Each structure stands twice: as structure tokens, then as C-alpha cells.
Amino acid sequence: MAETKYETHQHDVLVIGAGGAGLRAAIEASAMGLSVGLICKSLLGKAHTVMAEGGVAAALGNVEPRDSWKVHFRDTMKGGRYLNQWRMAQLHAMEAPARVNELEEWGALFDRTKDGRILQRNFGGHKYPRLAHVGDRTGLEMIRTLQQHGVHTGMQVYMECTVTRLLGDGPSGAGASRRRGRVTGCFGYWRENGKFVVFEAKAVVLATGGIGRAFKINSNSWECTGDGQALAYLLGAELMDQEFMQFHPTGMVWPPSVRGTLITEGVRGEGGTLRNKDKKRIMFDYIHPLYASETADTEEEADRWLAESTSGVASTARRTPDLLPRDIVARAIHTEVKEGRGSPHGGVFLDIFSRRSAEDIKKKLPAMYHQFKELGDVDITKEPMEVGPTAHYTMGGIRVDPETQETCIDGLFAAGECAAGMHGANRLGGNSLSDLLVFGRIAGLHAGRYAKATAGKHVDPAQIEAFAREALEPFDRDEGVNPFAVHEDLMNVMQTYCGIMRNERDLKTCLKELDRLKEAAARTKVVGGNRHYNTGWHEVIDLRNMLIVSEAMARSALARKESRGGHARDDFAEMDPAFAKVNHVCRAAGGGMELEAAPLPEVPDEIKKVLLEEDR
């Protein structure tokens, strides 16, 4: 087993991750005439992005001409409870329309308005209909478009290749003499045969997605194990906002096989309403003061808003509370269930059948229709769905410079779900797909510029040898634990102690449990088989990453003694202005993890003005 040989590839820019963010970054760097390598754990086109359903948010103003980047920016900051890096939220809102239009240039076919432009739909926390979409398979359209365009730009794609380490050195020293460190490439293995591979690169972009697989009930693909965050952390980069995990309000709850599988917010965007077991519409009881002035407080007003805003009329009514931001809706469902007003399988009801015709439902939400029919034995054109919160999106991630997406390590960039800053404490639906496009491009651009200005880098063979041995350890142990069992254990620990409702006691238990799991993970053993496509071995490596990011999440959550966005505590149930000024940053230090409360960047006056403006 101790075969540590490896092959080597060289590129100017290396992109790790082929979801929306990675593909967009690679396209940008390729367009600069650079040699680009794109690495992914799965086959091309299968990344988590393919599952995105509802749409991509961009203030195109096609359905509601009053929309503009300013309104989108305001909605995003408010949704993130003002913990966002304002500059990222601004860049995002300003550039998203161009990025969406560009997809059309590459062959994407969004649903159309009557006059032939891109149609936009309502989504939670967005003041106006803003999400460009294709039925409920927007992610598929996006990834296929980027993939089909990308493979013709000359980039080299390395599929089913898992990166286990970044090469280079991290920051060192302290104070003014602190060195930033630099990245020189990465180390990984081919899933197919377990052989090792080294990529040398001038610049590296991480675009590896989130960490939903650390939770028992989640909507994520197997790939979402926080690899990029862990890789960056291990090299010395910083993780930020890690306490903010988005629990999407509407996951499937029954049957057990599909528990957690997502139901798009588009269902509510198309008129779906949440009801408890007494058939009462629940959301009118949970209107957060922050949103009171813009939210309908009667069913009559909510329905008038829906009818008008979906028929292209500029509505004077206020938005339905069913479309409040996700953290608010998820907690409302959590409360209804806890107080005994839930559905038979521990969720609430989501009803579209009484609101739209069967024909409309099948046309607008075809994937939902099939998903329930084939996996849940429910015909959503005739009966309500049962829904409940599911771990969905990681707001936290690698800390980056808002202008360039560069980390604190020279040449190392991050974009998409694995990066932090854009969404603050809570992400609005649809803002991720646009985030991938906007910041994927920015990361690719700046990685490209960095590569152009940099001479070749050399990797250190001793470092590679050490990483190869590390990867093979689980084969060599005489005895050990089953990695699948440790993963199952981790999912239960995070779900129970670091889930949708947290408190000090649970979070302390969580950290203790994580110590126990770290110790167990260090003893995992690959039983049977060789290095060929060995899922048990792959699981061992993913575990290390999930444990690092889970620890950062629990530590940050413990330190944040308030409730804000995706982080809710029953021992500190309200927002606390003192915590409105800081982001939590985790980094490796002295053999452990250190946490810092970093002050938010000052918002310039002209941006403050935009935030305070009322749109007419």
C-alpha cells in the first residue's frame, strides 16, 4: 500500500471545484489566454450546482422595472442582517445582471416574459420578482451552459480527482513582519485507481462548495464536505462567519429515504402557503419587526400581492409572509412543530394544489411534481406536501478580500459557497447562483492576473511525500473504526447540538463530542479492497475536512451570544447590537483552533445612503 509515486501536471491557474463558481472562474482565466486546469471530485456537470432549482437573482428589471442594483443590494444586506461584507454585496448586485445575460450568450434558455425577455419570479426576501429561472431546474441549465461553453475554451478538466492538500506554506511570524505565505499547487488522488497526482500552479482558486453533509438532515450532495475550507485552513488561511448555517425551511420529511431533500422556495414564489395541522396559514404569526413594514398582515393583502406580482402588474400590496427570509420561515416551522401543531411526520403542510391549477403546477414546478410522485407517493396537484427544515447552505467559509477574492495566502483565491462574506448571517434564495457567477468570474480574473505577474513556482517533494503517507495511513492501521459509522455519528452530533436552535450547553457538548470524533477519525481504517475507487477510503479523507469545519462552526456559534440569521440560540434569543459589528474568524494556531472577533469594515457614507433610501 505504501506506493507514494505520483504524476505531475502544470498550469498557470488551477481551479479546484467544477460547480458554478469553479466553471465560471476557469472560463475567465482561460479567456485570458492562460493554461487552466479544472479539478472535480465527480464527473463534470454533476456538481452540487446542478441541483439548484428556483433561480438566479439579478436585478434585470424585466418584470418589475422599479428594480435596480440598489434594491437588490439593500435586500441582500437586510437578509444577511448587515453582517455581509458590504463591498461584496454591492459588487454582486451590480454585476449579476451582466453575468446572467452572458449565460444567454453561451446558450442558456431561461423562461420568457410575454415580450420575449428573461422571465423573473418572486423569492423570499427579494422585494421584486428577481429570479431568472428555467422551471425548477435553473442549476442544471446554468451548469450545462457553463460546461458546454467551458470545454471549448481550452481548459483541461480533471474529473473524479480529489484534492487532499494544498501545497505551499502558510502565513508566519507576527505583527508587521508577518509573511503571507503562498500556494504552489495541490496534491490529490484519482478516485478511479487511487494513484496520486500533483498539480503545480501559479495561482489556485478554491470553489469546492459547502458542508451540508455534516448534518443528519440535509439537502446536499455527497461532495459537500467542506473540503475547500479545510484545505485552506490547513495551509493557514482563515475561516469566517462559520456559525451561520442556513436551514432551508422546506425539505421533505417523509418518507425517511428522502428526509431533507429540497423543495424549492419557488413553490412559495408561485403561490404556495405554509399551514399547520389546523389548516391555519402560519406565517402571519411570525412577521419579524425588521420586515413588518413590507409584509402583508392579512391573507387578503398577501393574495392580492401574489395575483398582481405574478401577472406582471406593479403591485401596491405588500409581500406575503410566506416569502420572508429563510431563517425566519425555518424557525417558524420549528416552533409550530415543537408546540404540537405540526403535520403527522413532524413538519408542516405546504399547499400549492389549492392555489394553482394542476396544469400550472406541472409547467412551473415539474421537478417537484415528479419528485413527490416518484419518491413520496404524493400528487402535489391534489394534496399538500409535508415539509420541515433541512441543512442547506453554508454562509461561512474562507475569508477573502472583497475586491479580488484572494485569501490571506498569496495566489490562493476562493469563490462560491466555500467563500464567506457575501451573504452575512443569512443568504437570500437565488443569491447563490448569482454569487457563483459574479465571484467566480472575479476570482478567475484576479487569479489570472496574479499568474501572469508570477514566475513559475516549485513544489516541495518532501511535502508531497508527507501528504502521500498521510493519505495512505488508514490502509496501514492494524485495527480501527469504520469511517461510515464515524460520519453517521458526526451528522447526529451536529444535528443535535449545533442545529437550527442552539444554546451554550449544547454547543459545549458539541465541541466535546467533536473531540471524541476527531480521535475516532484518527483511528479509522480502510477494511478490504485496494486503492481502486474505494469509497471507504474516500470517506476517511472527507471526514477530516468535515471535522475541521464543524469545529469552526461550533466555536463561532458558542462565541456569538445572540440570535441572528442562520444562527439561533434559545439562551440569547434576540439580536445584540454589539455582535452586529463583528465577524468571527477561525484560524490554526499553536496546534489548535483560534477564534478572533474581527470588526466589520466601515460602510462608506454613500453606501449608507443607499441602504437607507426608500424605493418608490
Ligand X SMILES: Cc1cc2nc3c(=O)[nH]c(=O)nc-3n(C[C@H](O)[C@H](O)[C@H](O)COP(=O)(O)OP(=O)(O)OC[C@H]3O[C@@H](n4cnc5c(N)ncnc54)[C@H](O)[C@@H]3O)c2cc1C
Closest approach of ligand X to the CB of residue 89, in Å: 14
Tell me if 134 contacts another protein by CB under 8 A.
yes
Distance CA 286, CA 333 (A): 10
SS (H, E, C) 484-526: HHHHHHHHHHHHHHCCCCECHHHHHHHHHHHHHHHHHHCCECC
State whether the Cα torsion 540-546-547-548 is positive or negative.
positive
Neighbours of 571 (CB within 10 A): 13
Candidate segments 12-20, 90-98, 273-281, 323-331, binder of ligand X by CB under 6 A: 12-20
The 511-550 site mask, x for binding another protein (CB under 8 A), equals ---------------xxxxx-xxxxxx-x-----------
Residue from 432, 524, 550, 556 touching ligand X (CB under 6 A): that is 432
Residues in 61-80 at the binding interface with ligand X, rule: CB under 6 A = none
The 88-107 site mask, x for binding another protein (CB under 8 A), equals -------------x--xxxx
Distance CA 12, CA 26 (A): 11
Tell me if 51 contacts ligand X by CB under 6 A.
yes
Tell me if 129 contacts ligand X by CB under 6 A.
no
Closest approach of another protein to the CB of residue 151, in Å: 5
Tell me if 128 contacts ligand X by CB under 6 A.
no
Q: Residue 332 in contact with residue 286, Cβ under 8 Å?
A: yes
Residue from 193, 298, 354, 357 touching another protein (CB under 8 A): that is 193
Q: DSSP readout, 562-615? A: S-BTTB-BSSS-S--GGGGGEEEEEEEETTEEEEEEEEPPPPPHHHHHHHHPPP
Residue (38 or 400) nearer to another protein, CB: 38
Residues contacting ligand X: total by CB under 6 A: 45
209 binds, among another protein, ligand X, none (CB under 5 to 8 A by kind): ligand X
Residue from 116, 289, 590, 592 touching another protein (CB under 8 A): that is 116
Give the CA angle between residues 478, 479, 480 to the nearest 5°.
135
DSSP class of residue 531 equals S
Residue from 41, 78, 92, 130 touching ligand X (CB under 6 A): that is 41
Q: Residue 429 in contact with residue 181, Cβ under 8 Å?
A: no
Closest approach of another protein to the CB of residue 601, in Å: 33
DSSP class of residue 174 equals -
Active site residue 345: no
Cis peptide before 255 (omega within 30 of 0): yes
Residues in 138-167 at the binding interface with ligand X, rule: CB under 6 A = 138-139, 162-163
Tell me if 254 contacts another protein by CB under 8 A.
yes
599 binds, among ligand X, another protein, none (CB under 5 to 8 A by kind): none
Helices marked H in 311-348: 326-338
Residue from 79, 429, 474, 499 touching ligand X (CB under 6 A): that is 429
Residue (141 or 238) nearer to another protein, CB: 141
Residue located via cell numbers 440598489? 70
Q: Which of 152, 568, 560, 180 is nearest to 407 (CA)?
A: 180
Tell me if 484 contacts another protein by CB under 8 A.
yes
Question: Buried (b) or exposed (e) across 257-278, using 16+ Cβ within 10 A?
Answer: ebbbbbbbbbbbbbbbbbbbee
* Residues listed for the chain: 616
Query: Which residues have CB under 8 Å from 243's CB, separation 6+?
Result: 396, 553, 556, 557, 559, 560, 566, 567, 584
Active site residue 248: yes
Residues that bind ligand X (CB under 6 A): 16-22, 39-42, 47-49, 51-56, 138-139, 162-163, 188, 207-209, 219-220, 223-224, 227, 262, 392-393, 416-418, 429-433, 436
Residues that bind another protein (CB under 8 A): 42-48, 50-51, 101, 104-107, 109, 111-112, 115-117, 134-135, 137, 139-141, 144, 148-149, 151-152, 157, 159, 192-193, 221-223, 254-259, 261-262, 367, 370-371, 374-376, 482-485, 488, 526-530, 532-537, 539
Among all residues, which ones are annotated catalytic?
A: 248, 268
